[in-house]
Structure 1
């Protein structure tokens, strides 16, 4: 490895003997060195080259050490500074650390300590630069289909690019609705396996009695109704990526079978005694605290460590700042086009209503609310009244007395009023869809994003049939 490849260091020291002593010791370690006798010369070199590390004598003839430290930190934020002080100047060294110095030494310098601190400082400086480069890459070259410029999502984009290149298991953690399957798909799409299948299985949506057959497949006659062989999801994902959503909901028996498959890379269909080799990359997701489940015995510890080689933690929508506006604008654009309302935009005061909501359902809830708001909207804008109505339709009535108990008349009238407004808006929306489709039921149902049967039931409800 070249000296530049090992790391670059600037020694700022007015004492010629000390400068030569440090330089000789660090050159033997393979570092690229520059030297400066004054603060002015040091600042000029730093602005031109930005080394990984500066070894700074806190007392120089032409500069106050603490002031020079601040100027170095301002000119090169990712360059770390280790200060050197005369014996007995520990108070000054502590002040330097408070001002942002990475560490300090008292003279005479112990070479063994120097080597350790310098190596750690160089590693930290380079890591900071790599993180910066990854964030810049993510900002300038975002992953297609992923919306967000918040710190959490830029970090997520960087991590997706990093893990996609390596064929290792990934565990995605996050609340419901944060977009875990989208992240899994993006990992697959930019990985070397992108030309092969992406197979998704929601472990919580499939009954326990059927999950084994769904994952492992079965042979003809394996059980009543097995009239032909069935290829399981492991086999379907051959060469590609298998995404197991809500893996924390798996039973203990299924966890054991999954562990064996991951260890041996083979599957055995139900009703067969033959094992078949499989090649897939596993990406799993959960909205649970799997580490806590391991501690309570609900999730196997050996399986947990098998699937969490890399853990990606998706931030909830409430922690994503201005991403809310980016996502909202995009959903208004998408559903405006879908419902024949091109050019529709989200009014600023409507955005204020969105910001006031806590979004427990995260991005999925936001999409559903804005889909309804677009349907309610007239004219060129989605206004605050449309967003408020869409939110009320999604949340339902607030908790009050149990069914059958008396409620105050004011509360009854409020709840009934909300229901009447929502019903009126829904009827108006259906009439609009029917008019646009020239009263062709299936076309109107497609516009509304509902089934034909649901549309007919609603038409009957509102006297439109």
Structure 2
């Protein structure tokens, strides 16, 4: 790789000199501009791998430059330098398409991390393009589907992977929100660093601070050694906060500070430590409604929801059903060391008419159970054991138009799935949350078609 070029835009000579020296020590070639006009002229005459711009310039502001670069140089990462505490400005820059931001006074370690990440986006890829004829094999751990809703989702993910902006992933239970977060991480400059998922609803409130930020030996009873928290585990990578709406209010305050200051303080530690993580979050709940109801802090909501990404339900992409079913059955066959089962026409037709309140996760459960129960290589309709009256008169029918019996089953499924997710799959704990015995929960899982063999 040849020498990489960085454009620095700041009207303060001292800051320009500091940035030039710092980047020069990173073996980067720098060009400087003191105004929007000078910057635009250099962008037209030279080729750059990264742009660093101050927010306040004599003839404009950094947002204007971010928007100009997005329009005329969309492959050029641009980071903004903001005044200390100007989080609203930083968020506005991220929404406009900035790769990331750094606050004044500029912390040189943070700056070097930012520059290194951004330059990975400009580096030529060493990975050959995917062969679409081998898509099923290549996408084993990625996103399957070519329905219009999925093509749109994949296009948005590719754009979001080029940014460090926090993304809030909204979608129904079982729709694949964690898979989407993994894909944003995989396609971005942090791909070689850890992806750390955490179910916020599964951590006891009294242990949350220690789990997120770590603790020092002796900081509380039982703290017999130093412990690394989730932020440290994700250092340089991505922290995915699933079911973020379940965070108690006291933890929301601490999380907000960690995100804004890019620093954490382990329990019992004397001082904060810097962290470099990208935050992705998700919930099946509507966070705006949670804010309105006083259950979620508005300031944290705005920091997490810089960009909102909606994951389509399976009902919105039924065109992908045959491919998804083949993929799931193939994966089961590989796991069991057997030839893959296939669906009879009647079974395939019944699957196509089902409304999938539990989305792809429910489809996986249905097919795993059916593959276990079927006698031969072909899965028949009766092997699917879909809930009674599950077929929709119209393939595009939504749960809101179902019969009373189906609506009640839909609601019951959602409540049970949420309890299981909050208990990390522990049935006994989920049953306690629901006020049921484990046996009663098992009966309901079988009746609703959620039982895994």
The answer to whether the Cα contact below 8 Å between 2:368 and 2:452 also exists between their aligned partners in 1 is no
Give the aligned partner of residue 237 of structure 1.
234
Give the aligned partner of residue 322 of structure 2.
325
- How far apart are 1:139 and its partner, in Å? 11
Q: Aligned Cα RMSD in Å?
A: 2.9
- Are 1:187 and 2:195 an aligned pair? no
Give the aligned partner of residue 382 of structure 1.
379
- Are 1:198 and 2:199 an aligned pair? no
The answer to whether the Cα contact below 8 Å between 1:139 and 1:154 also exists between their aligned partners in 2 is no
The answer to whether the Cα contact below 8 Å between 1:202 and 1:246 also exists between their aligned partners in 2 is yes
Give the aligned partner of residue 147 of structure 1.
144
Equivalences for residues 375-454 of structure 1 within 5 A: 375-388=372-385
Give the aligned partner of residue 275 of structure 1.
272
- Are 1:256 and 2:253 an aligned pair? yes
The answer to whether the Cα contact below 8 Å between 2:171 and 2:284 also exists between their aligned partners in 1 is yes
- Are 1:209 and 2:202 an aligned pair? no
Equivalences for residues 81-100 of structure 1 within 5 A: none
Give the aligned partner of residue 173 of structure 2.
176
d(CA) in 2 for partners of 1:344, 1:291: 44
TM-score, L = length of structure 2: 0.55
Q: Deviation per CA, 1:274-327: give whole Å up to 9, x if none.
A: 100000000000111111222222111111111112111011111112112221
Q: How many residues align?
A: 268
Structure 2 unaligned runs (5+)?
Answer: 1-70, 72-128, 391-404, 410-442
Moved over 6 A (4+): 397-400
SS at match of 1:320: helix
- How far apart are 1:243 and its partner, in Å? 0.3
SS at match of 2:308: strand
**Higher relative contact order at CA 8 Å, sep ≥6: structure 1 or structure 2?**
2
Give the aligned partner of residue 313 of structure 1.
310
- State which structure, 1 or 2, has the greater radius of gyration over its C-alpha atoms: 1
SS at match of 1:219: coil
Q: Deviation per CA, 1:326-379: give whole Å up to 9, x if none.
A: 211211111123224314212221111212322111111110111111111222
d(CA) in 1 for partners of 2:272, 2:334: 50
Give the aligned partner of residue 411 of structure 1.
none
- How far apart are 1:138 and its partner, in Å? 11
Give the aligned partner of residue 339 of structure 1.
336
- How far apart are 1:218 and its partner, in Å? 0.6
Give the aligned partner of residue 49 of structure 1.
none
SS at match of 1:183: helix
Structure 1 unaligned runs (5+)?
Answer: 1-122, 124-136, 401-418, 424-447, 451-465
Alignment match of 2:284 (pick from 266, 287, 305):
287
- How far apart are 1:380 and its partner, in Å? 2.1
Alignment match of 1:355 (pick from 352, 358, 367):
352
- Are 1:304 and 2:304 an aligned pair? no
Taking a change above 3 Å as real, the CA distance of residues 353 and 310 of structure 1, as seen in their structure-2 partners, is same
d(CA) in 2 for partners of 1:348, 1:139: 30
TM-score, L = length of structure 1: 0.54
d(CA) in 2 for partners of 1:138, 1:337: 22
Equivalences for residues 77-156 of structure 1 within 5 A: 144=139, 145-156=142-153
